[in-house]
Structure 1
Amino acid sequence: MADLKFDDDLVELQRAYVRAAEVARDLCDAFPPPTKIAAGEVVVDPALEEQLEVARAERGRLVHALYGHTFWDNVADKFAAHTELQKVAAAQAGE
């Protein structure tokens, strides 16, 4: 798969998706334990819920943009290509 040439915008979409997923994960981590919420011991901050909703929407938008890219129209092994795209995007991000 090293012979694949990824468009710059596709690599940037992958990098943006990773950042958006990290934001959503960090917001999820900020929530109190579900057992405490269910037991009524804590109340979730509505602002935190709103931030998570926005973060998830952005992550979803990026998933659709990433997999709707025309690059994928002519790729036989999409799994291998996506794995390579993740590597390229991470390398460019310095990860």
Structure 2
Amino acid sequence: MHVSIHYSAQANEYAILNNYNVLIGENKHQKYKKLIQKTNKQDVQKILLMQESFRHILLLLLEEAFAYNLLQLNINLHEDEFKILNTEDKDITETLKCI
């Protein structure tokens, strides 16, 4: 119902209605409303943020965004630092490798 109020203004701005879609935002709004109905109505913002964080983490896990652990990322970072130092001054890198 609410969506139909904006159709004429959006049609003027975006030419045809296929170029505009508020249903994405409306869909998120409906999900939040359903989630709130399942809660005890206390700390609603916290619950919504936790749910949204869980969804994002799940999405990242499915996309294998956490393929590297922190140790591997740290090693890669330090290897890059040594490569930079190596190009600037070879003697410094030899000293750092001994440490």
Q: TM-score band, normalised by the shorter chain?
A: 0.3 to 0.5
Asked which structure has the greater CA Rg, the reply is: 2
The two structures have a TM-score, normalised by structure 1, of 0.38
Whichever structure has more helix as a proportion of its residues is 2
